[in-house]
Amino acid sequence: MEVPFWSREIETLDRGALEKIQLDRLREMVSWALKTPFYGKKLEAVGVRSAEDLHGLADLERVPFTTKDDLRRSFPKGLLAVDMQEVVRIHSSSGTTGIPTVIYFAHDDVDRWTDLLARSIIATGASSRDIFQNMMTYGLFTGGLGLHYGAERVGMAVIPIGGGNTKRQIQTMKDFQTSVLHITPSYLLHIHSQVEAEGVGRDELGLKRALIGAEPHSENTRRKIEDLLGIQAFNSYGLSELNGPGVAFECVFRKDMHVWEDAYIIEIIDPATGQRVEDGQEGEVVLTNLIRRAMPILRYRTRDLAFMHPEPCACGRTHRRLSRILGRTDDMLIINGVNVFPSQIEEKIMKVPEVATNYLIHVDKKGALDRLTVKVEIYPKLFLGDVAKLEALRARIREELRSSIVISPIVELHEPGSLPVSEGKAKRVVDERPKD
């Protein structure tokens, strides 16, 4: 297979050279971090008063973790390391609690980030000849603008359509023969169901690749997308604290994501003890941003669960690979005392051929007990068959789920289009249990 590169030299550096870059950049970031009220105090407390106090990469472990709550508490300027005059971009997010966090970029920060996205796009085999329809939400969310800049740098024809208005999306795909999409996997599945409903044939579209990310999805969901649309789908991972998309991306082999290690230091820790775990072992992803001067972030606890691949990738890149995100430390549901991750449910139901493209996990209380209901959309023709067949399908899905999550949920079968659709990040879990 042909392996395309954007910056071959950097992407194939040997470990020693890569670690030297990491250490140099880490020192630079620490010197910037020391200028902020937040890290000034935090680093002082562990005896790091200047970049020279870090003698090797191992010294990173002396640096305390940074959490989302730290970012909230230091809103708006506690982590700003440059004069506002130097800031060229502000991204902000307000999480479920409504307390905002903010990310600042200086000119060179945007430039380096853009380069990582150009690198990521080229790694998938896409090129300047492609037509790129960016269906990710633009605005304060980093997903839209991040890939937009990267795609322009590659020289693709970029259609900045943003999320939503599915009919227009499909028309645009036809009009311009869009070959590459950037989109959440849930919205892509919805687009597919509309393509089917409108009777648009594969040959009317010029689609070849989809860059899918911003939300958890299983390998079975990727397969489903690839089979239904006849394209290749590439996993894309990032978060605004680490600039946004472009932290890790799949190459042409589609066997998990290269972390761009000249730009980020990745650690996997045991979330309970904070200690690093071995390659191959699942834990919480902790990331240090090596390329953002306006707002340095050291050892950020992402709450995302994944593992590092010990073996190298066939493409020849030396930047190590991260598994897909297997769950989050904060999305675990406890159902009558049993731990259940939404990703376990998705993986099972997306394997069932009768299941269409959307589902919802619903939790409530019945008396003293928690009740878990999994609502899945199935293909409409199945409702024309006899009731016994539907009942058998429901039982089969319930049994699949029970084999993975131990408890036996209620399974409801729905017609396509009846469950809520998201045009950005999907909300898969509705938990209506009273909070105490």
Q: Binding residues for ligand ADP, per CB under 6 A? A: 93, 141-143, 213-216, 235-240, 244-245, 302, 304, 325, 328
Which range, of 22-30, 144-152, 317-325, 426-434, touches Zn ion by CB under 5 A? Answer: 317-325
**Least distance (Å) from Zn ion to the CB of residue 124?**
10
Site string for Zn ion, 247-276 (x = CB under 5 A): ----x-------------------------
Residue 216: name its binding partner from ligand ADP, Zn ion, none (Cβ under 5 to 8 Å by kind).
Answer: ligand ADP
Query: Nearer Cβ to ligand ADP, position 248 or 252?
Result: 248
- 313 contacts Zn ion (rule: CB under 5 A): yes
Picked from Zn ion, ligand ADP, none, the partner binding residue 251 (CB below 5 to 8 A depending on kind) is Zn ion
Q: Which stretch binds Zn ion (CB under 5 A): 63-71, 101-109, 244-252, 370-378?
A: 244-252
Under rule CB under 5 A, residue 315 binds Zn ion = yes
Contact 320, 308 (CB under 8 A): yes
CB of 158 or CB of 308, closer to Zn ion: 308
In the complex, the smallest distance separating the C-beta of residue 326 from ligand ADP, rounded to whole angstroms, is 9
Of 184 and 358, the one with the shorter C-beta distance to ligand ADP is 184
Q: Whose Cβ is closer to Zn ion: residue 1's or residue 369's? A: 1
**What's the closest the beta carbon of residue 408 comes to Zn ion, in angstroms?**
40
Which residues contact Zn ion by CB under 5 A? Answer: 251, 313, 315, 317
